[in-house]
Structures are given as structure tokens and as C-alpha cells.
Amino acid sequence: MRTVTLGDVTIDRVVEAEGLGFPPGFLLPDATADLIAAEGDWLEPHFFDPGSGRFIQSVHTFILRTSRHTILIDTCVGNHKQRPSTNAWHMQNTPFLAKLAEAGVQPEAVDYVMCTHLHVDHVGWNTQLQDGRWVPTFPNAKYIFHKQEYDHWVAHGDYVTEGPGSSDGFFKDSVLPVVEAGQAEIVGGDFGLDDTVWLDPTPGHSPGHVCVRVEAGGGKAVFSGDLLHHPVQCRRPDWNSRFCWDPEMSAGTRKRFVEAQADEDVLVLPAHFAAPTVGRIVAAAEGCRYAV
């Protein structure tokens, strides 16, 4: 992804992993091969590989730099973590921190970590293993957790419990150590750092899912987390992922989001769209599309 500049704000992407992902029917249970093929003219070559019949996906972190703050949005899967349900994520040992340094960010320089929601592939680098203990990776950062999201996990625990993408104890190794270190800031849906960066509640995929909105220099962007897992959901917002907590709520939230962004000058940066990752939602003859 190219660097995005909005006034004095810049946005970059650091990739943990990118390539062939889930088959459409696994990630989006309502999807069929015929329906995906019908959208091939705009899903290929970036987002669907017809040879394998699999989506092309990414797991990445966004670096948001303002005149005052260095902010990370979502922190991928992480290293050395027990994720036996998902082979590709189990006991990873990736050069993520080296990539972050190549992008000009050392862990000590991060001011805020903003999690769109608390799922296993969005909180992993919140912590790292040091001397047999999980400790915050970004020692000077405040970690922003939406209260409704955090309270749900405290009260009810894991709900993604079977098959690839399962929770696999992430809350214990990637969230609670941050809280115990006193670096968590539990906030409401009206939280904003300033008039440049703020949260936009978009529940359904998870209880307290939020988007992160940015406005600077006359430009607008939104980090949409897992509100959209794949670009085809712009065309079919009624298609939920198998990981959605409340399918009816998730579909309704997604539909409103897609319609609100369509043909507006708002950059949309989802958590799992492969390169080029940044685009806009545009209206088409039969629903919307994601244009890069």
C-alpha cells in the first residue's frame, strides 16, 4: 500500500502475512462459487484467485501518524502464541517488529494502540514474550479498548471456539497483560483523541466493534476493521462472516456502512483486504463495489 497523506496525517501499512486465504464458502457461508465468479471482473486479480478458488487476504497493522501521535490500529496475530486451531498462526515467528522499524516506528515511539475489536488476529502484537511472561509490546502506549467489547470478553469469554480462526486463549495472553500493566484505557463509543481521530461504533461482528475515523487536510478515511472481511461484501453486505457474533446486527451495520460510504470521498481501509488495501466504495448497477 502506498503511503496515504491527509494534510499532516500519514497512513502506512505493515503486513504480518498476505496471500491465499480462506475459501469463499468457509469465510462467508452464504457465498457460492457461481456468485463469486460473477464478480470476477472486479475481484480479480487483487482479491480472488480463480486457480485455487480462494480469497486473497492480508493480516496487517496500520500506522497512523498525526502531528502529535503515533498510533497503531489493530495488531495482527503475534509471535510465539499458542494458536493450534489455525495452523498458519500457531507459534508464529515473523519479522513484524523489524518491518515496523523499517516503516520508521520503534515500539517505544507508539503513543496509542487502537483495537477495532478484540479478536485473535487483531490483538496479537499487543504483547510479546519476555522471560516467560507476556508483556506489552509498546511500553509507552495507551491501548484503547471499547468498554462494551472488553466487558463482553470479561463476562462471557470466548465465542469463536471451533475451527480456523478460533480464539485459542488470546484474551489471556494478548489483552489481560495490558490491563494488568496499567496501559489499557477502557473507553466509550464517543472516544476521540482530538478532532482528527475518533471511534465510530459499528457493533455486530463483535459486541463492541468500532471503526476508527480520521479527518485532516480536507480528506477523510475510515479504518473499518472486520466490518468488511472481503471486498465482495460491498456487493453483498448481507453476507456475514462465520465469525460474526450477531449475524443480523452485523449485516444491518454493514449495509448502513456501505451505503453511507458509497460515492463519498472517504478512503476505506479494512483489516484484511490484500494490496493495494486502500480504496473507495462506489455505487454500481447492482449494488456497490470496492474500487482501488
Q: Which amino acid is at 258?
A: V
Helix (H) or strand (E) holding 148: helix 147-156
φ and ψ at 186, to 5 degrees? -90, 120
Which candidate, 52, 85, 72, 156, places its Cα nearest to that of 112?
A: 72
pLDDT value of residue 265? 95
From the number of C-beta atoms within 10 Å of its C-beta (0-12, 13-18, 19+), residue 179 rates as: middle
- Which residue pairs, CB below 8 angstroms and at least 24 apart, start in 28-33? 28/229, 28/230, 28/232, 28/233, 28/239, 28/240, 28/241, 28/242, 29/240, 29/242, 30/236, 30/238, 30/239, 30/240, 31/232, 31/236, 31/239
Give me the tens of pLDDT residue by residue for the chain, a chain 292 residues long.
899 999 999 999 999 999 999 999 999 999 998 989 999 999 999 999 999 999 999 999 999 999 999 999 999 999 999 999 999 999 999 999 999 999 999 999 999 999 999 999 999 999 999 999 999 999 999 999 999 999 999 998 777 677 888 888 999 999 999 999 999 999 998 899 988 999 999 999 999 999 999 999 999 999 999 999 999 999 999 999 999 999 999 999 999 999 999 999 999 999 999 999 999 999 987 889 999 9
Neighbours of 120 (CB within 10 A): 26
Q: Looking at residue 121, what is its pLDDT?
A: 96
**CB of 122 closer than 8 Å to CB of 209:** no
Domains annotated on the chain, with CATH? 4-291 (3.60.15.10)
Q: pLDDT value at position 148?
A: 95
Check residue 165 and give its pLDDT.
86
Q: What does the angle CA 74 – CA 211 – CA 64 come to, to the nearest 5 degrees?
A: 50
Tracing cell 485455487 back to the chain, one arrives at: 52
